Structure 1
Amino acid sequence: MSKMGNLVRSGNIRKPNETMRLIITTFVGIVFGFLLGISFPTLSLTKMNLPSSLLPSIDLTYIEDKYSSLSTQALYDAWSSLKGNKGSSTQLHKFNDSKIWVPTNPRGAERLPPGIIESESDFYLRRLWGLPSEDLTIKPRYLVTFTVGYDQKNNINAAVKKFSENFTIVLFHYDGRTSEWEEFEWSKRAIHVSVQKQTKWWYAKRFLHPDIVAPYDYIFMWDEDLGVEHFDAEEYLKLVRKHGLEISQPGLEPNKGLTWQMTKKRDNSEVHKVTEERPGWCSDPHLPPCAAFVEIMATVFSRDAWRCVWYMIQNDLVHGWGLDFALRKCVEPAHERIGVVDSQWIVHQGVPSLGNQGQAESGKAPWEGVRQRCRKEWTMFQDRIATAEKAYFEAMGIDPPNSTAR
């Protein structure tokens, strides 16, 4: 009996030890299995060729989909790393990566998806309410700009009335007076830009970038001192299209404000593209001022021509003198694509209003200093064109052509 009691007590002591050993062994096995499992890529159950009798009622696809999120991300990261190590040019981007490289994106827009990019704009006025798609009852196809001072308000009022609602009207105010123009009804729908003592070419370089005026088929860049009694803008553009003009101007009334024979209005003619000048003025009948030439006072550009001309306008040369002799570089063939519209003509009144915006120096009147700078800019522009062409031809290793800008 004493021995039996000892055996029972001895068995009771060993039982808890065996239970604890079993618990510890099970726990270690679970931990080891977990660590082993995450150390290997996920094996797709659906790719395993298991006998259907072994798993008769288990939806393997469901199990894989339900528990594969962690392993899918791991595979994605591994694949991205592998692609990078192989030197592939294809870049894979995570959804939270802000840089999206697209070679066709404009410079500076590499971080934007192409579908959101708006590379062009316009001067269409928008409302502050309602839907954007309902803002515009009409989208003007043409643009006309005038560089103005308030003293010429009546002349500009008469000129604006020659342009239909198919034109966006922009006034560049060199005298800083804008609110006074509200007496005219059309002024409420015009665009007013006011910077004192600047020229239209200064404005053009800063406010008429080709991507800003891209919606307009033609751009009129006019001075403020033009008489328009015999002019109709819509009829003018019909003739421009008919004769294939990319750069043009209305003919000038011959008895006032005329400098060049090319711009002189001809009777019984719709358009002319060539003329005869004084002896020795034209080295070639197809070159300015005998052809491929209009003045800069009332120029009209097609959208494509303006895109080229804008880049040719120098940022610091604000009067534009000499530009009219170089316009031919922007169209081809220039002697056929540049011309004067005779049947829609204007009068150059020759009002020296901008000259009075100058400053008197060394006893000279304000307009004298302005005129002196105009001449200097003409020489500077000629030199820049010639230097740029020479440098290009030298870099290309070819002889320059005989003709250069005057």
Structure 2
Amino acid sequence: MIAYLLPLLALSSSAVSAAGPQRVLGHHDGPSNFIHSSIFGRKDLDINSVPDTVILTPLYRARDSNGNDQSESATFAHLPFTDCTKPENNGTFDIGIVGHPFDLGVSYRPGARFGPNGARLGARRLAPAAGWSMDHGINPFREWATVVDCGDIWNSPFDKLIAIHELENGMKAMNELKPKNESVADAVRLITIGGDHTITLPILRALHSTWGRVAVLHFDSHLDTWDPKQLGGGLTKYSEVNHGTMLHIAHEEGLLSNHSNMHLGSRCMLFDEHFDLDNDLRCGFSYIRARELDRLGVDKVVEQIVDTVGDEYVYLSIDIDVLDPAFAPATGTIEPGGWTTRELLQIINGLSNAGLKIIGSDVVEFTPVYDNAAETTGIAISEIIYEILQWMVHVPVKTPIKA
């Protein structure tokens, strides 16, 4: 996320030494409320003018022996496809896998818009008919929850503002459907495949009317709470929302818990010695750095997360760059020194065993073009989603009682 800015930062530092002391980043004149000045607030766009949601069906196109076009379903883990935005599919599923092919918010390597299809390819070794886990003892595709692939929410590849609203509208339509098994849970839950990390913002907006403020467990090498004036917001308002500022904006909009959010696996560079971490604390986050796992161990990491979250609803957001590049090379902003796939799976399993109330999740920043011939990253993502699915099946959740 920061790598492409380093040459510019080097130039600016030499200029500052000649021009005098540098102003503290993040201190700027203008409206005190970021949302009031942002084009990404709702005041500058007529929501009714955003096109109706279009779902892209996951298909694999090939040619048969006669050279004719042939399309086959290419859903995640060979699940049935359901258009989860259609009212007629109300009460037909409990958990949905949905793709967000969006990467207009990246700062380094583009290509995450192809992540949903790449993850589905990585999951072709999985199937409901052979989904029993040696570690969990159950088949999450055959338990109480009906699991489907909801396809991809189409969004504009040209306009970030419109695309974000299209994703939000699509998630709202899905979130409004009732689950099939209402005796166990009274709301559908979605696992989203990105797409770059910007997509977490429209997802949290869409879920807010159902779940209220949520505690975000953010597995990522980066903070993603950067003040837009720090990361990309100094030139145009259009650049204020990106995959490094979306949690800052989610806090400003009142979507996050006040104090129970956490970064897990953090190990990034900072723009400023104090400002970035101070702002992160203001946004309600604490963190466990990647290197602390060696000292704490998996059990202590899980214990610290559980103590921090308590009884709050949890939204799980996993940037695949939380893993070390040895295990997930195909990501947009790579950072050495991350966790192993096994360690991440163990932590997720620990949170499930602790009964944390997961209400939704995303797995983001998969850029398939950088994967290797063994499809290491895509297969790791499929296993992570399978583990999240185990958690959702193990911990059914009821929506809060509204006054």
- Fold in common (TM above 0.5): no
Q: TM-score, normalised by structure 1?
A: 0.23
Higher alpha-carbon Rg: 1
Q: TM-score, normalised by structure 2?
A: 0.23
- Of structures 1 and 2, the one scoring higher in RCO (CA 8 A, sep 6+) is 2
